[in-house]
A and B are shown apart, each in its own frame.
Chain A
Amino acid sequence: MANFYTDNPDLKHHLNHPLMRKIVELKERNFADADKYDYAPYDFDDAMDSYDRVLEIVGDICGGVIADNAESVDHQGPRVENGRVIYADGTKENLDVCRKAGLMGMSMPRRFGGLNFPITPYIMAADIVSRADTGFENLWGLQDCAETIYEFANEDQKKRYISRVCKGETMSMDLTEPDAGSDLQSVMLKATEQPDGTWRLNGVKRFITNGDSDIHLVLARSEDGTKDGRGLSMFIYDKNDGGVTVRRIENKMGIKGSPTCELVFKNAKAELCGNRRLGLIKYVMALMNGARLGIAAQSVGVSEIAYREALAYAKDRKQFGKAIIEFPAVAEMLSVMKAKLDASRSLLYETSRFVDIYKIYDDIAKERPLSPEERKEAKFYSKLADALTPLVKGMGSEYCNQNAYDCIQIHGGSGFMKDYACERIYRDARITSIYEGTTQLQVVAAIRHVTTGTYLSLIRQYEAQEVRPELAGIKARLVEMTKLYENAVEKVTSVKESDYNDLMARRLVEMAGNIIMSYLLLMDANRNESFTRSATIYNNLAEAEVTKHADFIAKFNPEEVALYMNV
């Protein structure tokens, strides 16, 4: 039985990033829990050893139970009976084994029964789970919602709900409605306050992942007569209270094990989470950022399995008297798949480290005032996390789709049949660039970091780092690519015409992403020679992409925008 953590040394490389020391020391408050909890670490090495051991459990379960069940779960899928979701048998087993292994509530504080892991090892677990079964990653990964309760609910709610999540109860975030998808300001589900301070929810939610979960976060309109996002609040609905039924589950193209539900709320009792009116503008934004990082991890997991399946097939399949991997056309596809996989994974963990630092500072700020220096640092990392999250979600999900496509291509005619895992991977991959904000919306979130220079300042920091002499060539090319990027940004921003700016936005964001990921792989190679191959191959790819976009932008006549808009 394979272990999906130990069979992939790249993961340990990312886990052991130098910035982890700072993250762990902040997260553990200089190991203050060591005397209070028998499972708390007493120093940095002990904490890192714990992450390593727990990820080994994740890898073991994923390589055994969850990967084994993936096919049957895809075929059987969940069903609805009397308004309740019945999971596929394999899903039930997966959840059971994850609960027994204590892998729920991984990032929650110990006082609620969590493991108090930083986001980075938690995201690594998500990466591994997604490789085993992309659809199951949703059910398992929705424990993320506990983060929102932890950040915004009151202490009593945290005690009641987070401890349940840590024991293995599942969660969902009920945001989307038939007329409120990407545009959540239009949410209509009505929340009415009762004399006892509780609320009643009425209305319909649609496309709710794991919609029959134990604990729901629900976005609802609490302010009568309002029409925009400022009239929305966040609520916690406890399934034990009743009032929500599942009307149907969608028949999807992929991630079929993950039930996507239409929910009917009929006077469902709920509690307010946090303050009124902040539901969308503050809490959902926070929730979405966490969820987007989760989808980025899911995408990297898909890229990983797509690459592995393609590689195994290409080694095994013989044509014209030799394994097809020996043909340059196939070898190139595999090399580029691996480079995209490695690039998106490096960006994933760079992002998760930035998220870790600012979130931990936010948490510390609840205990004591931060020093001016700490405040400055928190702000610095918060901005970077904000900039990199849409980048890794957008580009990581596109890369996993490309890898899934190439995985089928390498399988040839067999890949088009239902006989190989690649067809499931292809279907599962497709949603990653759609949900939690389409790639196009990630561009909208990312473009301001192009125009305000967040990406460029990050690139400058990377540029300032020394690399080994044999990597100097890649770095020199990156410096030139950055110049192309700067020129392109200058040209686009110098024209104040919003349709033109929007039309160019994707290219600018991708250029930034290409350069950042190429730098990250360069630094990975600087720390670990095994990344040199991907750093080189990705640099070739990134340079070609950046040049292509630069060329397009340089030659594009802004007056032609009308042609594009006249569809």
Chain B
Amino acid sequence: MSLNIIVLAKQVPDTRNVGKDAMKEDGTINRAALPAIFNPEDLNALEQALRIKDANPGSTVTLLTMGLPRAAEIIREAIFRGADSGIVLTDRVLGGADTLATSYSLAQAVKKIGKYDIILGGRQAIDGDTAQVGPQIAEKLGIPQVTYAEKILALKDGHVTVKRRLESGVETVKAPLPCVVTVNGSAAECRPRNAMRVQKYKLAVTPSEKEKLSDELKARVDARPYLQLNEWGAATVNADPEQIGLPGSPTKVKNIVNVVFTAKESMRLGDNDEEIENLVKELLANHTIG
């Protein structure tokens, strides 16, 4: 059974290595100070996609990302690891999108792709931590969604069986295809780049990247369709101008505050069950836990 698999991914600033200059005065992210990386949980999703592909020869994995033109970097990264092709959805008018406008734009791109059996993405991106885009895309496409996936257990007879990792435990669910699955960071790590694929695809470029190449390299790209990455704009995916970018984003950021946690109160417990039990009771009573 060959499947058309779409992986949603995002290029994000590496918030795991935040320095002093990570945030601008106005509270927005200083992207120049942070390296742009493949959103970690999207890599977990890519691995699940590649495993489906391994188990179902003839399947294709297409990476879909929305962002700046340079987001093509993560498409190459995905191809180096085993994906087949990718699309960068990039357009000035798509900028400033909140999760609603983002999911609308991406859903339009998925419709434009047309054929798909399963859509995988990371649970959330490390720059926004909303975990909303995957589920919203499922809603907009009118298909089921499985969130917090840790492992795709089976994919057959038009259904996918997924192990979900929840705060309180593990749940195994089954959903009909096509559907959206968002993958947790606790899922298997993504496989490495492959030496042969890196050599084959290192020159894979989007049309706007191709423009910057020498004539000789342009000719190489033209002669090899597998080196041509797709770059779509809002018009390509028939997006309604009112539903994308800033106009399509009801969320307005009022203020971002840099919060530094400091310990204010502390108490020392004795090494006995009674004092520990009293603490737990207290924490339950003031709703710190439970």
A54 contacts B195, C-beta separation under 8 Å: yes
Known contacts A38-B224, A42-B220; decide if A57 and B198 are in contact (CB<8 Å). Answer: yes
B191 contacts A39, C-beta separation under 8 Å: no
Cα A106 to Cα B226 in complex, Å, equals 24
Known contacts A42-B220, A53-B202; decide if A102 and B191 are in contact (CB<8 Å). Answer: no
A57 contacts B195, C-beta separation under 8 Å: yes
Interface size, chain A (Cβ < 8 Å): 19
- Which residue of the partner chain, among A39, A50, A57, contacts B192 with CB atoms under 8 Å? A57
Within 8 A of B (CB), among A281-308: none
Q: Which residues of A lie under 8 Å from residue B193 when comparing CB positions? A: 57, 60, 101
- Which residue of the partner chain, among B195, B199, B200, contacts A101 with CB atoms under 8 Å? B195
Q: Which residues of A lie under 8 Å from residue B196 when comparing CB positions? A: 39, 102, 115
Cα A133 to Cα B202 in complex, Å, equals 29
> Main SS of chain B's interface residues?
helix
- Which residue of the partner chain, among B191, B198, B202, B220, contacts A100 with CB atoms under 8 Å? B191
Q: B194 contacts the other chain (Cβ, under 8 Å)? A: yes
A166 nearest in chain B by CB position: B196
Within 8 A of A (CB), among B12-37: none
A42 to chain B, nearest CB (A): 7
Q: Which residues of B lie under 8 Å from residue A49 when comparing CB positions? A: 202
Q: Which residues of A lie under 8 Å from residue B200 when comparing CB positions? A: 38-39
Q: A244 contacts the other chain (Cβ, under 8 Å)? A: no
B192 contacts A60, C-beta separation under 8 Å: yes
A54 contacts B191, C-beta separation under 8 Å: no
Q: Which residues of A lie under 8 Å from residue B195 when comparing CB positions? A: 54, 57, 101-103, 106, 115
Known contacts A38-B224, A42-B220; decide if A101 and B202 are in contact (CB<8 Å). Answer: no
Q: Which residues of B lie under 8 Å from residue A101 when comparing CB positions? A: 191-195
A493 to chain B, nearest CB (A): 48
Q: A61 contacts the other chain (Cβ, under 8 Å)? A: yes
Q: A231 contacts the other chain (Cβ, under 8 Å)? A: no
Name which of A49, A53, A57, A100 has the most chain B CB atoms within 10 A of its CB: A100
Name which of A53, A60, A101, A106 has the most chain B CB atoms within 10 A of its CB: A101
Q: A41 contacts the other chain (Cβ, under 8 Å)? A: yes
A40 nearest in chain B by CB position: B199
Q: A97 contacts the other chain (Cβ, under 8 Å)? A: yes
A135 to chain B, nearest CB (A): 20
Known contacts A97-B191, A100-B191, A100-B194; decide if A39 and B220 are in contact (CB<8 Å). Answer: no
Cα A547 to Cα B166 in complex, Å, equals 70
A53 contacts B198, C-beta separation under 8 Å: yes
A113 nearest in chain B by CB position: B196
B220 nearest in chain A by CB position: A42
Count contacts between A and B, CB distance < 8 Å.
Answer: 47
Q: Which residues of B lie under 8 Å from residue A50 when comparing CB positions? A: 198-199, 202
Cα A101 to Cα B199 in complex, Å, equals 12
Within 8 A of B (CB), among A33-74: 38-42, 49-50, 53-54, 57, 60-61
How does the 8 Å CB contact mask read for A94-130 relative to B, with 1 for contact and 0 for none?
Answer: 0001001111001000000001000000000000000
Cα A550 to Cα B226 in complex, Å, equals 64
Q: Which residues of A lie under 8 Å from residue B226 when comparing CB positions? A: 38
Known contacts A38-B224, A42-B220; decide if A61 and B192 are in contact (CB<8 Å). Answer: yes
B191 contacts A41, C-beta separation under 8 Å: no
Known contacts A38-B224, A42-B220; decide if A53 and B199 are in contact (CB<8 Å). Answer: yes
Cα A102 to Cα B200 in complex, Å, equals 13
How does the 8 Å CB contact mask read for B173-197 relative to A, with 1 for contact and 0 for none?
Answer: 0000000000000000001111111
A101 nearest in chain B by CB position: B192
A27 to chain B, nearest CB (A): 14
Q: Which residues of B lie under 8 Å from residue A57 when comparing CB positions? A: 192-195, 198
Q: Which residues of B lie under 8 Å from residue A42 when comparing CB positions? A: 220
B274 to chain A, nearest CB (A): 36
Q: Which residues of B lie under 8 Å from residue A54 when comparing CB positions? A: 195, 198-199
- Which residue of the partner chain, among A38, A41, A60, A102, contacts B194 with CB atoms under 8 Å? A102
Q: Which residues of A lie under 8 Å from residue B192 when comparing CB positions? A: 57, 60-61, 97, 100-101
A309 to chain B, nearest CB (A): 23
A106 nearest in chain B by CB position: B195
A103 nearest in chain B by CB position: B195
Cα A100 to Cα B197 in complex, Å, equals 11
A201 to chain B, nearest CB (A): 34
A38 to chain B, nearest CB (A): 5
B65 to chain A, nearest CB (A): 21
Cα A97 to Cα B193 in complex, Å, equals 10
Cα A54 to Cα B201 in complex, Å, equals 13
How does the 8 Å CB contact mask read for B115-146 relative to A, with 1 for contact and 0 for none?
Answer: 00000000000000000000000000000000
B106 to chain A, nearest CB (A): 29
B224 nearest in chain A by CB position: A38
B150 to chain A, nearest CB (A): 18
B221 to chain A, nearest CB (A): 13
Cα A104 to Cα B192 in complex, Å, equals 14
B229 to chain A, nearest CB (A): 16
Cα A40 to Cα B198 in complex, Å, equals 11
A33 to chain B, nearest CB (A): 11
Q: Which residues of B lie under 8 Å from residue A106 when comparing CB positions? A: 195
Cα A50 to Cα B196 in complex, Å, equals 9
Cα A275 to Cα B195 in complex, Å, equals 35
3 closest Cβ pairs, A-B complex: A39-B199, A102-B195, A39-B200
A selection of 12 A-B contacts at a CB cut-off of 8 Å is A38-B224, A40-B199, A42-B220, A54-B198, A57-B195, A60-B193, A97-B192, A101-B192, A102-B194, A102-B196, A102-B197, A115-B196
Q: Which B residues are closer than 8 A to A by beta carbons? A: 191-200, 202, 220, 224, 226
Q: Which A residues are closer than 8 A to B by beta carbons? A: 38-42, 49-50, 53-54, 57, 60-61, 97, 100-103, 106, 115
Q: A54-B198, A101-B191, A102-B196 are in contact. List 18 more A-B contacts (CB 8 A).
A: A38-B200, A39-B196, A39-B197, A39-B199, A40-B199, A50-B199, A53-B198, A53-B202, A54-B195, A57-B192, A57-B194, A60-B192, A60-B193, A97-B192, A100-B191, A100-B192, A106-B195, A115-B199
